[in-house]
Structures are given as structure tokens and as C-alpha cells.
Amino acid sequence: QVQVVESGGGLVQPGGSLRLSCAASGFTFSSYTMSWYRQAPGKGRELVASISNGGRNTNYAGSVKGRFTISRDNAKNTVYLQMNSLKPEDTAVYYCKAVNYYGTNDYWGQGTQVTVSS
């Protein structure tokens, strides 16, 4: 049974930090590219960051580059998103996605809410 479970969201003040975690099971985690997406109220889902299966390659949306860091621990089947210097516009539900090499299988988590507000 495949499970993708995000955690670590919450309420934080502007300029603060949060670390999101995404724990996966039921598939060969080390063979999957992992990504974080977010969806703000009234907006579409957007890619925030992604990391290759071995962790060597990462990509970031321009709006978060230099503030967010994606990483993974294949021994723990977990991917992380360290978010620093948070802004109100980072407020969204953050989702974790796993996709295999061929793009034929993908799995989503249920999302975790991040709210940046004073």
C-alpha cells in the first residue's frame, strides 16, 4: 500500500522558518524523483522544488530560490523542504509528489497547510 504523508506545516511569522517532511512507503523511494508543490487559495498548484532520485540534482521555482532547500534521505524514505525567510505569499497547502523515472507512476500526499502571517 502506497503512502505519502506530509508533516511540519503550521503558522509562522514573516521572516520565520519551517521544515516540511514527507514520509513515503509502499514503493521504491530511491527510484523516484520527489517534488514539493503548493496551492494557494484561488490559485493553481505550482511546482516549488524537486530533487532527483539520488539527490544530486535539484530544481527550484524562481520565487523560492535562495530561501527554500529540498533534500532527501533515502535510508529513511523521506524528503524535506527547509523554508527560510518566509513571506505571506508563501501561504499555501504544500503537497509532496513522487514520480518514477518514466513518468508512468506518480503518488501524491494529502498536503500540509503553511500559513505565514503576523
Per-residue pLDDT, 46? 97
pLDDT per position as a tens digit, 29-76: 999 999 999 999 999 999 999 999 999 999 999 999 999 999 999 999
Please give the Cα distance from 53 to 110 (Å, whole number). 21
88: cell is 505571506
Per-residue pLDDT, 24? 98
Please give the Cα distance from 5 to 86 (Å, whole number). 22
6: cell is 506530509
CB proximity list for 28: less than 8 A, separation 6 or greater: none
pLDDT per position as a tens digit, 10-36: 999 999 999 999 999 999 999 999 999
Average pLDDT, the chain: 97
22: cell is 514527507
